[in-house]
Amino acid sequence: MPRVTRSKKAPPEDASKSTSLSETSSTALQPKSTNTLKRPFNEGTDKKGKRSISTGPKAKRSAVSRPTSATSKKPKVSEEKWDVEGVYTIKDVDKVTADLKRRYGTLDISSFSLKVFYTTCGSYLYVIFTFGELQGIIRLCPEEAIKSRSNKILTSAEFEQVCHLKDSQKPDPKTKRWVMRWRGRAGGMLLGKCVGGEIDNYYIGTFQRDIPSGKEDLCGMKMEFVFRYDDNIFLFHATKTGNLTEPAYPPWTLKKKWNDLWNSDWGSESEDSPSEAESTPPAKSFSKAKPVLKAQEDLGSPASTSSEQVFFTISELKALRAKAMADTAARGEIWVDKEEVPMAILRRPSPPPYQSIPGGKGFNKFIELPPDWSWDVTGHWEIKGSPRLWDCLGVDGETPLTMLFRVSNNPLHTRVRRQLWATFTFGKLLGTMRFSPKKGPVSNRPDTLKKFEQECVLQSGCWPGDSPQGQNEWYIRWRGRSSVFSSEDGSDQWQGESKFKKGESGKLIFESTFMHNFQPVLFTAERVRARTPSKKNETTVLTCWDSDKPESARRGRTYIVPANSNWPYS
């Protein structure tokens, strides 16, 4: 057999690039490696976008650390949770409806604020808002809760059910849009009329990351939502500017406060009213509990602000009472310490612009006192120099026509609140007059009886007096009954105008129009003497007003005359 010989190859030009025979023979029969870290790198080449690494002469290649799948995997969008809880500042308000600027002018949003809370016990997301004198609660649920419904209309009870969120469900990049409903009081949380719940629809709010802020631990969130009030639509833009300093309400407290903002004028709340078991917090055991007087939500915060503390001890109540007396004296107000006034009247809402004194347990926990510039219009008045009124009433000219003006300011009458009204005796015609302040242009006047009755409730700071501080022009409606013809049908459908002023002698004068038998009559009255102090159990304006309701408007009849009908009195 011929001998196998190996031909000698010429030496390479660059000896540094030669490999030994042992290395060549050991790797000649090896399969091509699939490990990219073991493959040779070509200098000055870039195949298919791969980066070339210059090894240099006889440089050993070292493994380049590449990110593994575990480190390079980005977090899922659904796993990212946003910290939406905190204090929000209103940055801008867009007036959607065209006549908002004409009606409201430029909105002062310096005092507007939002606080977003999330209850870990029960998982509820809600907002406490303060828009000037309008304060209330906004409750939220995900938009997906209504997308699955065919009619996409939620009743009040259904909305509260979907507000109970799933465990750890919060706004995130996939759940930005939330359905909102709100309730509040037009004069604050403890004063004023309940509003918001009469609107039988919902609005959309959106949470978004505020990237330019750059403060992940405090800021970084913004909120936009639609808000409807007084038949006008606003678009709010808010930014998170701080962390919360108080804990969120437990579910039973949130439900109670939400139901307390229900207005009986909106209809029956039977389906929404919580059962006693739902609205009562879980029972707690105290090994050495001291006597307690009041729940925490009705008083100021004690030294311990733990959300687990439900009651105050007597020593804590005394400390709160002493602090409240000092704060009252610092404001220049009078502290009334009566046995029948519970010590729970220590914390008050944002103070009204004028002086007040403690009252009762209702909405009017503090009675607003008249300012120095106001006119005391309460008392007895007599019609002077209006012969046409006697002729219209068909009475003798010697018959006295009198009026008794009153101001409802009794804290026990929670539904009445503060109103200006009067009872009159015009011969055989007896009745009640009610007044609502005349504000703004004529287009803002109350066109319907219901709207007139709502505006009869006076806002804080509205008192009879000389303009511009006082209110001297008022709208007037009346109801009455005659001893001959019973009640006067349609009298409350006519709306007149009235005015208070001072005569040359300094006496108060009242000028008004009185519509009777389709004839407007102008009359003038003078205040003749003051009124005796009112009693706590005196008849309210609502009782007198309802007792003089026309027979045709009573539900005991077979028909009801609506306010907007084509009846001659409408």
The tokens for 519 are 């004839």
d(CA 173, CA 82) in angstroms, rounded, equals 8
How many CA within 13 A on the CB side of residue 216?
2
Asked if residue 173 lies in contact with residue 77, where contact means CB atoms within 8 angstroms, the answer is: yes
The answer as to whether 221 is a domain residue is yes
The answer as to whether 152 is a domain residue is yes
Indicate if 524 and 484 belong to the same structural domain.
yes
The answer as to whether 566 is a domain residue is no
The boundaries of the domain holding residue 441 are: 379-553
The whole-model pTM stands at: 0.38
d(CA 20, CA 23) in angstroms, rounded, equals 5
Indicate if 386 and 467 belong to the same structural domain.
yes
d(CA 168, CA 118) in angstroms, rounded, equals 10
Indicate if 145 and 260 belong to the same structural domain.
yes
The answer as to whether 134 is a domain residue is yes
Indicate if 534 and 414 belong to the same structural domain.
yes
Indicate if 171 and 109 belong to the same structural domain.
yes
Number of domains in the chain: 3
The answer as to whether 546 is a domain residue is yes
Write down the pLDDT at residue 380: 92
The answer as to whether 361 is a domain residue is no
Chunked into runs of 10 residues, the chain (570 residues) has average pLDDT values of: 53 48 47 51 48 49 50 50 85 61 60 86 86 87 75 72 80 85 74 68 75 55 82 81 87 88 64 40 34 32 35 53 73 52 35 45 57 89 85 83 86 72 89 90 83 88 87 90 63 86 88 82 89 72 81 49 40
Write down the pLDDT at residue 403: 93
- Whether the upstream peptide bond of residue 352 has omega within 30° of 0, thus cis, is no
Indicate if 401 and 508 belong to the same structural domain.
yes
The answer as to whether 216 is a domain residue is yes
Indicate if 310 and 455 belong to the same structural domain.
no
Indicate if 301 and 246 belong to the same structural domain.
no
Indicate if 233 and 325 belong to the same structural domain.
no
Indicate if 315 and 423 belong to the same structural domain.
no
The answer as to whether 335 is a domain residue is yes
Q: What are phi and psi of 464, to 5 degrees?
A: -60, 135
Indicate if 390 and 431 belong to the same structural domain.
yes
Indicate if 307 and 176 belong to the same structural domain.
no
